[in-house]
Every structure is written in C-alpha cells, then in structure tokens.
Chain A
C-alpha cells in the first residue's frame, strides 16, 4: 500500500544535540512538508519542498534544516539552535489537488 512513513515514533534529545527525523513516501508525490504541533495548538509550517533538490522555509524554520535529495525522502534535522524543540512533528506529501497525506508523526522530547 502507498503511504508516508515517519520514524521514529518517539525521540529523545539531549540539550545541544542535533537529531534527524525521517520521512519517506511511496506515493510518487512531488511536494513534501514538515509541520510542528504543540499541545492544544494547530499546525505550523517549518519547511516545504515542491520538487527534488529544492526546498523553502516556512513560518518557523529557525533552528531546523532539511534536504531533498530524493523524491521519496524529506528528512528534518532539529539543530541545537532550536531552543524549544519539544513538540509533535508531522510530515506530509501532496499531489496538490487532493489534499495532503500525513505521516503518523514523531514526538520529540528534550531530556
């Protein structure tokens, strides 16, 4: 079955560490997105990519980095510059006309 997979489901980060969240899709979608969701809040866009080897900053890109070397993959790195990284991270992909398909999310906690 086609879908979008995020891993790991839970991730713990020590202060000062970089961590990378994985997002893989086999839907042949061109566009991919990363969102951050804080408790009781909506979605905030971190980065998005409309095509391979190209990506754009969203509303809250500071402290995050991404790459898009393959169509199927859009990993997100949470760097030590992100001062409050504890949140639920959602990845999505899109064929632009039928909405986004979301992964099941990664919950990141700073310990």
Chain B
C-alpha cells in the first residue's frame, strides 16, 4: 500500500467547510503539497507547506501540519460545487536519485448543492 494515506471519499454541502486529511511517514520530508484533479484533467498544484511551518493560509485554503503526528490537513472554507474533485497530498522525499514526490491515493470530494 501507499506510505502516504488519505481517506477515499468526503461529501459536504455547499457553503460548509471541508477538511481533507493525510498522514505521511517520512519525518525528514521538507515540503508537503496538496494537488487538485478535476475529471479527465491533470493535477493542479493548490498549495504547499514547508516542514518548519505549522500553518499556511491562502484565501479559502488552510493547510495545517502536525509534524509530531505526521499529519497534514487541507481545509477549504465556504466549499463550492466547483471544488468537487480528487485531492492528493504528497511529500517530498530524498532518495538515491534525488528528491521525488510520493503521493497519497487521493480523496474524492463531492459538494452537494
């Protein structure tokens, strides 16, 4: 299985907040990322957080990082139907070939009107 874990599915009502959670395994990861994938499209970088930060806010998006528990979350305020997509978290790891991203399996967010 994947080393980066996410729940498969989240359903919310339009206007509510969404919280998508992710756990990772490599405590030496320097950067952690959130990507959004709409149907039939590639992945779009939403935001990233450096490992020495606890929180990062960007408009409706808030990223929280708990390094002790290796837990990352993405909060979307005032969720809209256009936010319906698959969300992937990823951690940057170093290996013999250099730095690479390891992705979680993705969380499908469904926003109901």
Contact = CB atoms under 8 A, between A and B. Distances in A.
Contacts of B2: 42
Given A43-B103, A48-B97, A56-B97, A99 B42 contact: no
Interface residues of A, number: 24
Contact of A96 (B43, B88, B98): B98
Interface residue tally on B, bucketed by range: 20 to 34
A40 B106 CA distance: 9
Say whether chain A's binding surface is mostly helix, strand, loop, or mixed: strand
Contacts of A104: 41-42
A88 B98 CA distance: 26
Interface in A56-111: 56, 88, 90, 92, 94, 96-105, 107
Nearest to A6: B42
Interface string B15-50: 000000000000000010101000011111100100
Given A96-B98, A102-B42, A104-B41, A42 B48 contact: no
A100 B98 CA distance: 14
15 contacts: A41-B105, A41-B106, A42-B2, A42-B88, A48-B100, A88-B40, A90-B43, A92-B43, A96-B92, A96-B98, A97-B99, A98-B45, A99-B45, A100-B45, A104-B42
Interface of B: 2, 31, 33, 35, 40-45, 48, 88, 90, 92, 97-101, 103-106, 108
Given A99-B92, A103-B42, 9 more contacts: A43-B43, A43-B103, A50-B97, A50-B98, A99-B31, A99-B35, A100-B43, A102-B42, A105-B41
